[in-house]
Every structure is written in C-alpha cells, then in structure tokens.
Chain A
C-alpha cells in the first residue's frame, strides 16, 4: 500500500477522488450526447456523417442567438435549450432531403466527400452569419454556482448534464424497443431492402432518423454552449471525439456509445492525473487497444 500511495498520492484523498469520478462522468455524458446521434445515423443510413460536429456547432451558435434575443428571464435559457436543437433538427432534415438522399446507394467515398464538403460549407456559413469573434452563453443563475460534495465544490451545471444524459439514454431505449417507429429503425439497421419490400416508406424513415440524429447533435451543442467558448473550429474538435467514441462503442450501437463514453470519460479523467504528459494520445490509445481486441468495437457487429 505504501508503494501505491507513494506513486499515486491522490489515492488517499477521498473527496477529491469523488469529484474526479463525477467530472469524468459528466465528460462521459457530454460524449454520449454528441456521439449517439452519429452512431444512430450510421446504423440506419450507413453514412458516416462527418458533418455531425458542424450540427453540434450550429446548435451552440443558435443557443447564443436565442439567449441573446429572448427577453432576460429565468426560463429563457430553458426555452433556448429546447428551441436550438429543434432548429438543428430542421437543418438536418433540409440537408437530408436535398443532398444525402441522392447518395445512399453510391460508394462510401462519395458519401464521405459530401459530408466533408458540408463541414466546409456549414463552417463558412457560420462565419458569415455569426462572425469570427468568440461568443459565450452565461449559465442560468440557478446553475451558475457549485455544490459542495464532501467539502469539494462541484459545478451545478454538470449535475444537469449528469441528469439529462441518462434521461436521453432511457428515452432512446424506450423509443427503440417499445415503439413501432423504433422497431422500424432497428429493422432498417438489419435489412433495409427487405423493410422497403414490406411496404415501409424507407425514404421518410431515413429523413426522420437523420433529423433525430441532427437534433441530438444540436442538443449536445446547445447544452455545452455555457461551458465553452462558442467559436469557429469547435466542430472539428467534437467530430474527432465523437467519432472515436462511436468507433470504440461499435458503429451503430447505442448501448455501445453509452459504455464507450463512460470508458473514455473516466479513463481520460484518471489518465490525465497519472500521465499528464500524454493526455492527447490517451483517447486514441484507448481506441487502438479496443480495435486490436475487437475490430468492430465493443458492442458492434462484425460486417458480413
């Protein structure tokens, strides 16, 4: 034990470890929110949507505009939090109907080029609409402070995220396993041709799924807006992390995204404590290990 405590002196500091675990959890919940939409879209449409980070960014920027335009009131923040992701969902719908719908049957490379092009187009549009300055959203007053956990302050806002993400996860599970729509989506991930042959309007289903995935990205962006600077370039950062989480969890698996987000969040949190010098590599090291052991991800299915 002496050896362990000399190597990791923090191990003896209980309250700080609790805070460390909780902050890792909140990181994980953010990761889950931004990655599950990407996983969902891939599972159904088989498109790796590189523009997912751009939807996240638009969600954050819409949040900025809504909070600024809505009258100053305690509920304005929450109204903005509801409206911003809906705006992103609608944007996703427009993009699916006008662009993506045309390339579902084309080779994957073309799909990657299109969604990559969307990153550049959306990035430029955001620059034109909102300008290059850094923007910021203040936390709602009720959540601006912190809560003492065993004497250690912990940000109240993260508690919101900690609570909200599991609600989204449970909502997703109920939708997928307890509703007809969810059943159709699960069927589409298994065999979309057969589903079409059975008389289901697959095109509309795809649009709905894409809008839903975009909504999730927008929710992630809107929710994280008060904890970051809303700035150009936040799309790329999120895209990489979301992509890694999705790959670790298994492309198309929702439970996989959840477990992978937890794993990445906690490992990152404690990894930085032990090896601060290599924190950048940690995320990718985890991905590499998982891919060596299970090339299709933790809960993914091997492609036939």
Chain B
C-alpha cells in the first residue's frame, strides 16, 4: 500500500480534529465560565494582606458556583502577580484582556497599581473592579465609568476617626504621618473634617518622617514638647510597630491620646504584644468582638467558616482578616453587578452599577453607590485594650455607616470637575 503523502495526512488529521472539536464542546456541555482577571501583589511584603484576601475571594467564588454560578455560568478568577509595580500590573492587565479574554478586571493593593489599571481599563473600555487599594482618587478625582471600587476608601475611615476625635475633650492635635501621598491624604482628610466638626481645634507639631523610617526618637521628643493633647498617626505596618515601641517608654501615650487607624489590626497588635498602646483609638475589623457579634449574629459562623477554609488552604495565620473579608465581599459584589445586568457586557454591568444597590454581608450592609460606583461598607472604631490573657485586642467597637460620613455625590462631582480642570491646564 502506498504510504500517505504528507498533505493527505494533514488533511485527514485536520478534518478529524475539526470534526471532533464541536463534539468535545458539546460533550462538556459545561457553560463557559465568566472570567475575571485579578491582579494583586502575590510575592514579597504585601502577602500577609493579599493571601487572606485571595482565600476570602476563593471561598466566596466556591459558594457562588456551588449555588449555580452567575447567569448559569461559573465565576472564575485568574490571578496575576503585580510585584507591587504599576507597569507590571498594566502588562498583566493587557495580557489578561487580549490573551485570556477575561470579561472583567479586578485587584490591587497598592494605590499606584490601582490607578494604573484604572487608566488602562478606561482606554481599553474594560470594566475594572478595584478591590483592595484604598485611595479615594480611584473613583473620585480620577474616577470614570470603567472603574468601580468594592471596598471602602481612605475618606470613610479617616472621617470616622475624626468624628471620634471631635467627641473627645481635646483641643490641641499633633500629627505623625509618612511623607508620601497616603500620609498627606490621611492628615488632610482628618484635620479638615475635625476642624469642620469642631472649629476650635488647633493643630501643632506636624511631623512627616519618611515612609519606612525606623528611628522616630527625635519626632517623639519633639511631640513631647509640643503641648499637644491628641496625636493622629497614619504610620502603618512595620513603621507603626517601630513608632509605638519607641514612643511608649518616653511616656508619649500618657501625655496624648493616640488616634491611629491601623494600630488596631492584628498584624500590628500581635508583634507589639505587651508593648501595645493601650487606650489608642483605631479603626479595626474586630471579628472577635462580642459587641460586634451581637450586632451581626451571622459573623461568628462566617469567621468559623473562613478560618476552616484558610487552614485547609495552608495559610500560616488562618484567623479572619480585613483582607479576607474584602476578598469575600468583592467576589459577591462583582457577581451581584453581573446578575443585575443580566449580562457580562461591560456597558450593561456599568448600567447596573450606576443604579446602585445594597448587599448584606455577615458584618453588615454594604452600599454600592451609583454616582461614583464606590462601596460604602460599615466602618468600625474601637479602643486598644488587653484581654484576659494579656493579649492586645481592639475593644469597645462602635459601628458607623460609611454612607453617613462619606463625601456626597455632589462633592464627588466637584472633585472630578476640579481634577478635570487641573488636567486641562
């Protein structure tokens, strides 16, 4: 028998494959997943925050898909590492859109990364859900229809802290914040809102150590001299731990009330241990707080479910984290927006977001506001205390609704107009 020529072979194999393929497609009558390209920092210093976030997201995705998915299709997140760099993030976004053909983009822990992906999304006309970074510029100054923000922004929790500060019998406030955009933003928001609520306050000794400064003793002695009765701080992470450890033996926290949004989180309280700043006012996610659990009866069950899930996935610290709750909420909010649009067409989903909606989570109600596509979740404020075992925790938790403190839609419009005018110049 004459062997097949190369071209015959190609034709035969080719047609067999072509014939089989549609059959394969039907055999796996599985509906096509809704793909979301998720870009975040999954290596290096940010992983204590992003790993819990990713597992929260995975837990929610599993629940959504077990319950039949969205529009009958499963939800699928494709994760990419941005290495905390805006250019890496944009490269990943482009690949996800062009090669992986994702329907939506999501992610960010660094504000710089979030703004970069947002700018790409605007150009590419892909809807981007910012999930983990917190700058208010995302949906306000630099906001546009292709970006939505599924977690709170800086403005909300700083205003909650400022409101609490206004209720204290303190007139003279000092500041210590890292000298970069976030630090200046925080102080600006805090001081202006506090002044608005309580015009008689005075601001003294504004300190701007560099981001990541390790030795604050000169700032601390300067603060001691300032005569301030209250100290606002937006140093965070390792810098916050260093500051507290250095300030305590100088007696700084006895001289002035410490208000520091980040210091109530376990990633700062646990390393501080017995050196934690007892009495400090913070804005933590205190899932363990009895008062909060009374307010939200489903929270305990969720905390247990999340902890088991995180343990199974091998997280070193499987206890609930703010990041975990954010990943969880973000997946549900994205799913809800698609459900309401009854389509994965970005324009239709933007339409659904524009109408705004509310969702109930184990920790309370989250409002997705239509005018700026910005989430307004509940905010908490509490005081650092030692528990019965001598472990520092955030206690006396009070809940404030984000919608009660956040800038109004009209104010956001003004911000956007001002930003647009600035750009024209």
A interface, CB within 8 angstroms of B? 10, 13, 16, 19-20, 23-24, 26-27, 30, 127, 131-136, 138-139, 144-146, 152-158, 224, 226-234, 236-238, 268-269, 271-273, 276-277, 279-280
A132-B45, A232-B45, A233-B45 as given contacts; A27 in contact with B238, CB under 8 Å: no
A153-B250, A269-B221, A276-B207 as given contacts; A134 in contact with B213, CB under 8 Å: no
A279 and B207: CB pair below 8 A? Answer: yes
B215 and A27: CB pair below 8 A? Answer: yes
Chain A residue with the shortest CB-CB distance to B206: A276
A135 and B205: CB pair below 8 A? Answer: no
Contact of B242 with A by CB under 8 A: yes
CB distance from B75 to the nearest CB of A (A): 28
Chain A residue with the shortest CB-CB distance to B48: A133
CB distance from B289 to the nearest CB of A (A): 23
- On chain B, the residues within 8 Å of A276 by CB distance are 205-208, 219, 222
B249 and A155: CB pair below 8 A? Answer: yes
Q: Which of B254-282 contact A (CB under 8 A)?
A: 267-268, 271-275
Chain A residue with the shortest CB-CB distance to B205: A276
A16-B225, A276-B205, A279-B209 as given contacts; A132 in contact with B44, CB under 8 Å: yes
CB distance from A90 to the nearest CB of B (A): 25
A273 and B246: CB pair below 8 A? Answer: no
- Complexed CA–CA distance, A271 and B222 (Å): 9
- Complexed CA–CA distance, A156 and B248 (Å): 11
CB distance from B362 to the nearest CB of A (A): 26
Interface of A is mostly: helix
5 closest pairs, A vs B, by CB?
A: A155-B249, A231-B238, A229-B241, A229-B238, A136-B271
A138 and B273: CB pair below 8 A? Answer: yes
- On chain B, the residues within 8 Å of A16 by CB distance are 221, 224-225
Interface of B is mostly: helix
- Complexed CA–CA distance, A278 and B219 (Å): 12
A-B contact count (CB 8 A): 142
- On chain B, the residues within 8 Å of A237 by CB distance are 212-214
- Complexed CA–CA distance, A280 and B210 (Å): 6
A146-B251, A272-B219, A276-B208 as given contacts; A229 in contact with B242, CB under 8 Å: yes
- On chain B, the residues within 8 Å of A238 by CB distance are 214
Chain B residue with the shortest CB-CB distance to A26: B217
B222 and A229: CB pair below 8 A? Answer: no
- On chain A, the residues within 8 Å of B240 by CB distance are 229
B interface, CB within 8 angstroms of A? 44-48, 179, 205-210, 212-215, 217-222, 224-225, 237-242, 245-246, 249-251, 267-268, 271-275, 316
- On chain B, the residues within 8 Å of A136 by CB distance are 241, 245, 271-273, 275
A23-B220, A279-B208 as given contacts; A228 in contact with B316, CB under 8 Å: no
- Complexed CA–CA distance, A127 and B239 (Å): 18
CB distance from B267 to the nearest CB of A (A): 7
Chain B residue with the shortest CB-CB distance to A123: B44
Chain B residue with the shortest CB-CB distance to A273: B222
Which of B221, B251, B271 sits near A135, CB closer than 8 Å? B271
- On chain B, the residues within 8 Å of A273 by CB distance are 218, 221-222, 225
B239 and A277: CB pair below 8 A? Answer: no
A16-B221, A269-B221, A276-B207 as given contacts; A134 in contact with B238, CB under 8 Å: yes
B267 and A134: CB pair below 8 A? Answer: yes
A10 and B225: CB pair below 8 A? Answer: yes
